[in-house]
Chains A and B, each alone.
Chain A
């Protein structure tokens, strides 16, 4: 094609628009999702958890979590009588295949599902030297795997042990609260499959979310409140022995 003055005048603005599009990067993935109108957390109802491991399996499948690593896992607590400061905690294979049958140990026994607490003042994002992990504007702690150096600072900083280094990518990995699902109006994979409703996604900025009524009427705790991380995973019916 011969470039005449007329053609050049037509092409130049078109090229400018295209270049601007390239510079802008990935277009908005979920067009109807307004990032400023959400503030995500989760509710975990411990008396409802049956330790079936559905959440762990679903999380692995949804997020390609490598074998032996966990974005969410289940702990089985055994508290012998009055020794609430010395609980016996077990999590065979993260509880992915459920728990061994029986285990009649006496005392108090219960399951505690764990995951990233999506802290408002998260220690893990504060130590990242390159800005590869951050609290998104809707309150989800995410990892930018294309920017992560794999320095492991964040793995050490998380007081809840929720992060690991993916052995394939050598970058930090953690629960993303299924960000690719919740921005499309779905719930997280773990909440989707929970058979008893022990896990529930909560949008704290949505006044119609049942979480507000629940928080008002129940005795709810977060893990390690003394760390002042602003954790947003709320546990109902949590025993004092839970670490």
Chain B
């Protein structure tokens, strides 16, 4: 038997109290959902999923603008999604009356895809815009939803195939 056993008992009591304090503090501090799926806060998954999308998606566009979809089906821009050119329209889809989208500037937006660049796939239609249009907006001659020009161009000075590669 040890001498002065109560020292050891006192030490044991202090350690048990410290352990209890740790357990209580840990339960209070660690989020409830921690460990629900793994070593992370399970609620984070739902929190990240809860944000509101800004791009409405072309299915939503079709709900109101089906005539544009019919028009697009006739041309090669059939598979180009609306928001690719028109930008994020989630707010417009939520409240079509008060949020009106702006028409994109074709001189900028068409060139992003169709300006000649040697890294683009060879079969993809490309033009050197200064030679092709001389700085005119593309929708002077082309209709963006059905881009192929069927009849004579409106202005005689522009040759739609002039700069074609």
Residues of A within 8 A of B (CB): 23-30, 33, 35, 47-54, 58, 61-62, 76-78, 97-105, 109-111, 131-137, 142, 144, 146-147, 176, 178-181, 183-184, 186-187, 189, 192-197
Contacts and interface: CB of A to CB of B under 8 A. Distances in A.
A35 B38 CA distance: 14
B117 A134 contact: no
A28 B81 CA distance: 30
B84 A194 contact: yes
A111 B54 contact: no
B47 interface: yes
A77 B45 CA distance: 36
Interface of B is mostly: loop
A196 to B, nearest CB: 8
Given A181-B53, A195-B80, A29 B46 contact: yes
18 contacts: A25-B31, A26-B43, A28-B46, A50-B124, A51-B117, A51-B120, A58-B83, A99-B119, A131-B34, A134-B39, A135-B38, A136-B37, A144-B47, A147-B41, A181-B55, A193-B81, A195-B113, A196-B79
Q: How large is the interface on B (under 10, 10 to 19, 20 to 34, 35 or more residues)?
A: 35 or more
Contacts of A102: 116-118, 128
B22 to A, nearest CB: 18
B40 A131 contact: yes
A147 B40 CA distance: 9
A180 B41 contact: no
Interface of B: 31-34, 37-41, 43-55, 57-58, 79-81, 83-84, 87-88, 111-113, 115-121, 124, 128-129
B118 A109 contact: yes
A176 B49 CA distance: 10
A186 B48 contact: no
A105 B53 contact: no
Contact of A105 (B32, B41, B47, B118): B118
A26 B46 contact: yes
Contacts of A189: 53-55, 88
B105 to A, nearest CB: 13
Contacts of B80: 195
B32 A23 contact: yes
A51 to B, nearest CB: 6
A103 B126 CA distance: 13
B119 A180 contact: no
A25 B50 CA distance: 13
Contact of B119 (A29, A61, A111, A135): A111
B106 to A, nearest CB: 14
Would you list the 4 A-B pairs with minimal beta carbon distance, nearest first?
A144-B44, A180-B51, A109-B119, A29-B50
Contact of A131 (B39, B48, B84, B111): B39
A144 B113 contact: no
A29 B37 CA distance: 16
B54 A61 contact: yes
A131 B41 contact: yes
A25 B36 CA distance: 12
B49 A33 contact: yes
B41 A61 contact: no
A62 B41 contact: no
A147 B44 contact: yes
A91 B110 CA distance: 20
A154 to B, nearest CB: 13
A104 B118 contact: yes
